[in-house]
């Protein structure tokens, strides 16, 4: 844990407005959002990167069939600026919960693959499809938690709920971290921004599971080894499953919640899922994860840039992110993850909502300016849970000064 200054944090902001002009004049191009990305980076990376330092650029490549993920163009600008400052950038990411993709048959005999970010091979493939490759962006992609998302370093903390967190071990191979966030909604966190990139995006499957679930997986009365080939034992990467009499038994002290056994089991409902955490608890646990990431890596070695473009109600990690519910808000930069997320939420709340269509194809009245949009679309959510937990864990300052670029 570290001390937060009583003074306001600085958040730099570039408006999403681009001057409409035919010619590529200097007056026109200075309003271009890719150019303004560089202006923000010049502020937050000033005297931050030394020559030949290894700089991890934390990204989220987006789930398969999601069309709202952050365009690779913006990440390319981040990489170019890091190179100009003498750093050696590398895109970094971690694996999602689960071990295997799923084939889903939909009408008209169409079969699609869902859950494409659970292992190195599938994750690389979706990253390539979305333009997150060295050829396009200018830096290679590395998975901090290894091929299956299991490689971590246990970090002791005094969090709200958690006392130990498995931080992705590859993070510690870097000298500095530039964390890129796409600001948008989220079905459990309320919103996704810098804090969620830290608390879910930089930990192993074990602590992703701990954030989402309480307890551990267990077998049910349906488990009968005469009906299977003990696929669960083969699927478990930590040898947490043994056979006793006619059933498989999961050792909760070894289980890391990767869900591999549940995905591999051919007997429906033979493995009981852990209980989903209350949404407020989920937010507090992801912030505990974030605390472990920041304190173990070093808060002074991290900078944050958030892009508030294409803002739907759902996250980049889901397949159907929905329509945009609020206009583009611009680009934000800071050295404080709480301040940058708070600034994004405040601007989203102040902005007018956008009209959206319902399932019947009817236009829905937009949410009025002054109302927090993500909670308006999902009454069970509250964006203050995440921010308040971050302040409790002293991850940053909710008070900020917004400086327009």
Q: List the structure tokens of 99.
A: 């071990």
pLDDT tier at 2, thresholds 50, 70, 90: very low
For residues 107 and 370, which has the higher predicted lDDT (pLDDT)?
370
What are the tens digits of pLDDT across the range 78-100?
Answer: 999 999 999 999 999 999 998 88
Q: Which helix (H) or strand (E) holds 242?
A: strand 241-244
**How much is the pLDDT for 107?**
83
End-to-end Cα, the chain, rounded Å: 31
For residues 76 and 269, which has the higher predicted lDDT (pLDDT)?
76
**How much is the pLDDT for 137?**
98
**How much is the pLDDT for 1?**
43
| pLDDT tops 50 at residue 108 | yes
Set out the domains of the chain in order of their start, with CATH numbers: 9-213+277-404 (no CATH), 216-273 (3.30.70.20)
Percent of the chain with pLDDT over 70: 99
Contact 321, 66 (CB under 8 A): yes
| pLDDT tops 60 at residue 297 | yes
Mean per-residue pLDDT for 297-323?
A: 95
Q: List the structure tokens of 25.
A: 């004049």
Whose tokens are 């981040």? That residue is 78
What are the tens digits of pLDDT across the range 191-240?
Answer: 999 999 999 999 999 999 999 999 889 999 899 999 999 999 999 999 99
Contact 116, 123 (CB under 8 A): yes
What are the tens digits of pLDDT across the range 389-401?
Answer: 999 999 999 999 9
CA distances from 339 to 45, 145, 277, 363 (A): 17, 28, 26, 34
Helix (H/G/I), strand (E/B), else coil: 266: coil
**How much is the pLDDT for 105?**
87
**How much is the pLDDT for 7?**
84
**How much is the pLDDT for 354?**
97
Helix (H/G/I), strand (E/B), else coil: 335: coil
**How much is the pLDDT for 113?**
83
**How much is the pLDDT for 22?**
72
Contact 225, 266 (CB under 8 A): no
**How much is the pLDDT for 132?**
98
Rounded to whole angstroms, how far apart are CA atoms 202 and 140?
17
**How much is the pLDDT for 28?**
87
For residues 52 and 103, which has the higher predicted lDDT (pLDDT)?
52
DSSP for 110-153, written as a single string: EEEEE---SSHHHHHHHHHHTT-SHHHHSS-EEETTTTTT--EE
Nearest-5° angle of CA 278, CA 165, CA 57? 100
Q: Phi, psi at residue 136, to the nearest 5°?
A: -90, -45
How many Cα atoms occupy the beta-carbon half-sphere of 122 within 13 Å? 20
Rounded to whole angstroms, how far apart are CA atoms 279 and 36?
36
What are the tens digits of pLDDT across the range 338-393?
Answer: 999 999 999 999 999 999 999 999 999 999 999 999 999 999 999 999 999 999 99
Mean per-residue pLDDT for 305-311?
A: 98
β-pairing verdict for 400-404 and 190-192: unpaired
Percent of the chain with pLDDT over 90: 86
Decide: pTM greater than 0.85. Answer: yes
Write down the mean pLDDT value for the chain. Answer: 94
Whose tokens are 């056994």? That residue is 261
**How much is the pLDDT for 4?**
52
């Amino acid at each position: 844990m570290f001390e937060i200054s009583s003074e306001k944090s600085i958040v730099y902001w570039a408006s999403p407005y681009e001057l409409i002009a035919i010619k590529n004049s200097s007056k026109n191009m200075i309003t271009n959002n890719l150019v303004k990305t560089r202006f923000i980076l010049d502020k937050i990376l000033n005297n931050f990167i030394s020559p030949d330092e290894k700089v991890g650029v934390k990204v989220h490549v987006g789930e398969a069939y999601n069309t709202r993920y952050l365009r690779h163009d913006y990440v390319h600008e981040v990489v170019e600026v890091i190179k100009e400052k003498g750093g050696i950038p590398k895109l970094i990411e971690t694996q999602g919960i689960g071990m295997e993709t799923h084939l889903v048959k939909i009408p008209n005999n169409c079969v699609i693959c869902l859950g494409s970010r659970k292992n190195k091979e599938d994750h690389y493939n979706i990253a390539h499809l979305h333009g997150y490759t060295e050829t396009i962006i200018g830096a290679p992609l590395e998975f901090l938690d290894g091929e299956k998302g299991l490689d971590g370093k246990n970090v002791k903390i005094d969090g709200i709920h958690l006392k130990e967190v498995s931080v992705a071990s590859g993070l510690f191979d870097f000298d500095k971290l530039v964390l890129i966030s796409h600001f948008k909604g989220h079905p459990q966190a309320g919103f996704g921004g810098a804090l969620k990139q830290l608390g879910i995006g930089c930990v192993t499957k074990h602590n992703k599971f701990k954030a989402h679930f309480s307890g551990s997986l267990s077998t049910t009365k349906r488990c009968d080894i005469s009906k299977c080939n003990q696929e669960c034992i083969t699927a478990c990467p930590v040898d947490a499953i043994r056979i006793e009499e006619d059933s498989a038994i999961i050792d909760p002290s070894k289980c890391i919640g990767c869900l591999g056994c549940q995905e591999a089991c051919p007997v429906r409902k033979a493995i009981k899922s852990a209980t989903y955490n209350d949404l407020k608890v989920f937010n507090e646990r992801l912030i505990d994860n974030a605390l472990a990431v920041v304190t173990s890596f070093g808060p002074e070695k991290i900078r944050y840039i958030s892009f508030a473009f294409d803002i739907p109600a759902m996250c980049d990690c889901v397949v159907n992110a929905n329509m945009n519910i609020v206009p583009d808000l611009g680009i934000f930069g800071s050295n404080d993850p709480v301040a940058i997320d708070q600034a994004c939420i405040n601007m989203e709340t102040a902005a007018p909502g956008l009209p959206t269509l319902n399932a019947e194809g009817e236009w829905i009245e937009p949410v009025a300016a002054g109302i927090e949009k993500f909670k308006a679309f999902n009454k069970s959510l509250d964006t203050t849970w995440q921010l308040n937990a971050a302040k409790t864990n002293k991850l940053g300052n909710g008070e900020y000064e917004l400086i327009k670029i």
